[in-house]
């Protein structure tokens, strides 16, 4: 990335730190610090309004479906830990622990920076691993979240590796034009067919500018 002038370097961090003071928000301050430390272009994608809207939608529907209290949540394809940061920020939901799991080793330090207080108190951990290789039966997560279903090569194999009855919150989309999207779903019904749950607590779609996001909450 090109060298920034001191003025450019401080432009957005200054604004974000001002907002964090005004709103008294560790969440905004962590975004300011993380954006300054990690200049990964897709960090802006992870925090854009579409990504935030999809994750806020998940939190709202999860509370409606299964209430406000959770034990350990595994977030697969957890990317930069934005969902965990949003849940910790939300007074309407309590989670005893997050494990954010991503195959890309570059994600962990960014996710830890975005959830720094929870790293310090032991309620947020990262794991660099392929979700296809995890032992879901012995890990016994209270909830498994996968908002990266469109990225999963062996979706059926992964889904079948989950113990029956596992609580799930899954998202996918119909954004076929993105090269990394190897497992899009053309419709909500197609996504339901990919992930045949024994219990559907929620199934819905959220229109975005270039695609529709689908979500299923229920049990394997």
What residues make contact with ligand SAM under the rule CB under 6 A?
51, 76-77, 79, 101-104, 107, 130-132, 147-148, 151-152
Considering beta carbons, is residue 29 or 86 the nearer one to ligand SAM?
86
Whole-angstrom distance, CA of residue 45 vs CA of residue 181? 15
The per-residue b/e assignment along 18-56, b for 16 or more CB within 10 angstroms, e otherwise, is eebeeeeeebbbbbbbbbeeeeeeebeebbeeebeebbe
In the complex, minimum distance from the CB of residue 177 to ligand SAM, in angstroms, rounded to a whole number: 14
Q: What are phi and psi of 98, to 5 degrees?
A: -115, 135
Nearer to ligand SAM by Cβ, of 77 and 218: the residue is: 77
* Nearest residue to ligand SAM on Cβ basis: 77
Closest distance of CB 8 from ligand SAM, Å: 27
- Least distance in Å: CB of 51 to ligand SAM? 5
What token pair was written down for 94?
Answer: 């309590």
Q: What is the maximum alpha-carbon separation in the chain?
A: 56
140, 153, 194, 134: which is closest to 170 by C-alpha? Answer: 194
Q: Are residues 206 and 57 in contact, defined by beta-carbon separation less than 8 angstroms?
A: yes
Shortest distance in whole angstroms from residue 23 CB to ligand SAM: 23
Of 20 and 147, CB closest to ligand SAM: 147
User: Toward ligand SAM, which CB reaches closer, 17 or 208?
Assistant: 208
């Amino acid at each position: 990335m090109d060298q920034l002038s001191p003025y450019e370097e401080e432009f957005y961090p200054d604004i974000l730190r001002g907002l964090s003071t005004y709103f008294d928000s560790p969440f905004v301050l962590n975004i300011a610090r993380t954006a300054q430390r990690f200049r990964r272009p897709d960090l802006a994608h992870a925090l854009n309004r579409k990504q935030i809207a999809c994750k806020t939608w998940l939190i709202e529907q999860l509370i409606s479906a299964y209430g406000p209290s959770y034990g350990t949540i595994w977030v697969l394809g957890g990317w930069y830990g934005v969902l965990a940061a949003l849940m910790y920020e939300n007074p309407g939901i309590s989670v005893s622990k997050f494990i954010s799991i991503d195959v890309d080793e570059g994600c962990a330090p960014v996710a830890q920076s975005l959830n720094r207080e929870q790293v310090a108190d032991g309620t947020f951990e990262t794991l660099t691993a392929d979700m296809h290789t995890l032992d879901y039966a012995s890990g016994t997560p209270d909830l498994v979240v996968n908002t990266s279903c469109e990225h999963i090569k062996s979706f059926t194999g992964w889904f079948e590796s989950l113990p029956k009855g596992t609580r799930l919150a899954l998202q996918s989309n119909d954004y076929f034009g993105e090269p990394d999207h190897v497992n899009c779903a053309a419709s909500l019904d197609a996504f339901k067919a990919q992930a045949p749950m024994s219990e559907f607590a929620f199934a819905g779609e959220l229109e975005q500018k270039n695609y529709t996001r689908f979500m299923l909450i229920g049990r394997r």
